[in-house]
Amino acid sequence: MVSADFAEQWRSMQKTFLPTELFSATLRENARHFWENQEKALDALQALSSGWFERRHVGTRSAREAAEHMCGTETFVDLVQAYQNWASGAFERAVADGVSWQQQIMAITGALASPPLAPLATEKEVQPVRSEAKAPARSKTP
């Protein structure tokens, strides 16, 4: 019987101090958006790291193949050509890293930009009016 009494007291306090009918829908929606944004940020980080590791694997295989090719060349020109082929691939991967990082960072910051309890767009009915201070009226008499 005591636990039922505490439960009733808790419900009474909630009704008194937390008008749930007013805030619960907003809080529920904000919480849902917050955790969806967390998922988006995690997905973006996972894509970023997976892409980075894939490019590192490609780079390692490419460097190994270039080293094998350079060690097997008979002329200096062939050696330089093998190095240039490897270097151009390394440059392309470095550029891809930069583009990937930029895209993913934008996705992450976009997902984390809104605070978890911000008002929803539909609740922004009243736009704040910008008050402009008026200059005091000047007297026409000198």
Is the CB of residue 48 less than 8 Å from the CB of residue 100?
yes
Q: What is the pTM of this model?
A: 0.51
Q: What is the pLDDT of residue 57?
A: 93
Spatial contact of 104 and 47, defined as CB atoms under 8 Å apart: yes
What is d(CA 39, CA 37) in angstroms, rounded to the nearest whole number?
A: 5
pLDDT given at position 131:
47
Distance CA 10, CA 16 (A): 10
* Per-residue pLDDT at 61: 93
Break the chain into its structural domains and give their ranges.
60-112
Residue 114 has phi, psi (to 5 degrees) of -90, 135
| Tokens 């967390």 belong to residue | 38
**Which ranges of the chain have pLDDT less than 50?**
1, 123-132
pLDDT reported for residue 128: 46
Distance in angstroms (rounded) separating the CA atoms of residues 62 and 91: 12
